[in-house]
Structure 1
Amino acid sequence: MLLQIVLEDSTSMFFILNFHILVSAEKKDTDDSGHWELALQKIDELQKIVREQEKRISMMLEKRPSEFEIKTLTKLQNTAKKQSTRIVQLEARVQELENVAKADENIPVEIKGNELLSESNGASVTPNKTFNRREGLLNIQPTTVPVDTVAFFAYLSTDTQASAAHHILTFDKVITNVGNAYHSHQGTFFAPRTGIYVFTWTIRLTDYSKQTTELLVNNNVIYWIYFNSNDSVDGSVTGTAVVQVNQGDDVLIRTGSRFHTGTIKSNHDGKSSFAGWILMREKGDMKIDELQKTVHAQDERISMLEKRPSESEIQTLTELQSTVKKQGTRIAQLEVRIKELETVVKANENIPVEILRNGQLSETNGTSVMSKTTHSRRGRLLSIQPTTVPVDMVAFYAYVSANIPASVAHRIIAFDKVVTNVGNAYHPHSGTFIAPRSGLYVFTWTIRLYLHYHHTTELLVNNNVVNRIYFAPAGNIDGSVSSTAVVQVNQGDDVLIRTGSSQHSGEIVGDSNGVSSFAGWILM
């Protein structure tokens, strides 16, 4: 966890310090016998239901034809039906060509085959159709997320006056709220399940403001951070805690009792934000959820098995295979006969005959196949394609190996020194992470500045600004500012850090005394 603290000495010099701190919650009563009795009772009830389901499945339902058998039979029935239709068409065509050949007429024959039918609904399919994927975080529907995942990220939409003790900060602009457990009108997260959680918050101050902000869990202060902006500093401070939270506990950020002067800033140049996500759950709750999922899955299986037809209601596999084979042979014979008759007709006519026939029949369903369909895809940033990763985990961490001149708007910061790149989805030459799969991701970045430099830096997902931070040190101050966001990212989305549109003066620093960095990882 990155903590930044500004200390003021007698000469009005300022120092910004960075610490990594792991905070555990104040120990709560773990001997809650009532909770465990209810959990054990629930587990016993669910196990009985599972046993009854298994008995019913094994004794009654599994004796019916399998899903594979039904699908195979249905597939063969559809193929036989389409073959029958095709045979009728071919026989009619043979009869037509035989009549033409006998009459020896000089009339050009134009034969149009059936349109290509889609397998699902018989609708006409136009060849050479171009498929484009519209990119953009806000234009693509979020991927379905597992129900046991909990995560949120929100920031203040405007500056907030906070000159009173214990003022709850309502981070009202919600970007991510998986589980719907964060309530923006109260600024409070209500834990939907027991587990280990990570919470992080960033506070931006300027113009003589000084604030202590506290992380509370059920009115217990877990951790607090302090920042004094004095007269010339515009910057942010970030706190992070890892804490045990029980189901129903409320978690929030509020001002402290001693230091609460001025306005908490949050505007186009930089945001004040609050985020959190679950790391792991209690074993008892996980067992209950596991059994509930088993009950639900077996209910669906029972429902599916009950819908199966009996053996007497379906045609046997052997009979259908024989029918399909015979009709396939008949179709081949008719197509050979049509070719012979077309040759005869062409030889007897002075005008070329243009015959548009269906393509080859597919072995499975007898439908025509048209080729050369063009698939195009809108290019990614810098023509980099998403990386396919065979493993579930995706994570990266990189920093700048030297100072970067960044006195221009929208300069992409290329964090070129890669320390971690699980999945190979971060590209240091462009400073861009391209998501190899859809999911919830955590992104965090740190910017170091000194002297009179000042910068707004932005987190972008597919050219959409998700979060901003601002830092304006003064005099001889040398320090860093950090921020974190939890956001839904779709496969192929590009994620990067760039300078803002208006505040971009001086170098972004990275040397042996401290670096500017960028990191991210998938939550699921």
Structure 2
Amino acid sequence: MNMLAKLSSAVTILFLFVSKIFVDADLSPELREIFQRLDVLERNVTKLGTENKELKEDLRKQKESFDNYKSIMSTKHDDFTRQDLMMQKDIKFIKFKDLKSIDTTLIQMASDLSSTKTNVTERFAELENDIKLKARLDDVARIDMRLQEAMDGLETLKKVVNDSNANVVNKIDNDVNGVMNALTLKMRTQTEFNGKQSKKLEDMENSVTELQHSLVGVDSILQNRTPPSFYAYMSYPVAVTGPQQRMVYDTIRTNNGNAYDNSTGIFTVPETGTYVFSWTCFSYVEEYIRLEIVVAGTIYGGTLSDTQETGDADTETGLVVVNARSGDEVFIRTQNNGPGNGRLYVEFESVSTFSGWKIS
């Protein structure tokens, strides 16, 4: 049994013991206060025990998620290795195929040129006996020059093809190297991420240990901490849409105890005691708004902000003192009858606010 469970059991036994002794007795104010504090302490210890269990469950889920992610990355690394081997085979095949095709083409072109030259030579022999041989000699010379130019062009083409093939091979090698570098960087990043996750899990485990140790002094912490209090306001105009519309004051300036939720507009009483709640309503020109404060389902007060005359402006403030119990919900809403037809307006420093604080 851990420290939190021992503390919870001790508080429960002490609470039952005191309840048994004083259930029928006429308790003094001091004993009643001690009894109430024991009641509050028991609920807080139970709440902390629940939070401790939830935190351990979150740690377990995060570790499972980390193990799954590690397995996925290992599978991806194996896939990348297989793809690299296949790419190397493709590169070798491409190199061999392209070179073989170029050599075959060059051989064919050389054969064609040789055949052409043979035909021209034979034709030249026939023309020697021709009366017009002299007139044709220049044509033969030009043909021979063209053949030479074709042979030179063939050599140039062969050089260009060789250079192009070398560039293709270099580009493929560079692309392969780029892929390998990217894979190496990704694996390094994954290793760093795994290290950070392990460090985070270790820090969370240390935090849980520190929380368990801090529960030993939970009574003194509950007695000496800052009393619950909050202050929030609306940062943008909110239109009245109907009766019992809860107002949400979205911007928090003070929230000691973190009991006010700016997404719902609800203050949940963290501990039993006497509280003061205040709210203001800044309404726009030619409009009116009726608001009320609700504590544990009971209406404790209301305000009317009336600016129905042209050029008029109005700000109304409500203030109540309430004996609230732990878990009670407190919020501001429009009244059921005649909620209004306007907006809770915002202009410079003039805003609608909601605040509360424990006085005892």
State the TM bucket, normalised to the shorter chain.
0.3 to 0.5
More helix by share: 2
Q: Greater strand share, 1 or 2?
A: 1
TM-score by length of 2: 0.38
Between the two structures, name the one with larger relative contact order (CA 8 Å, sep ≥ 6): 1
Structure of higher CA gyration radius = 2
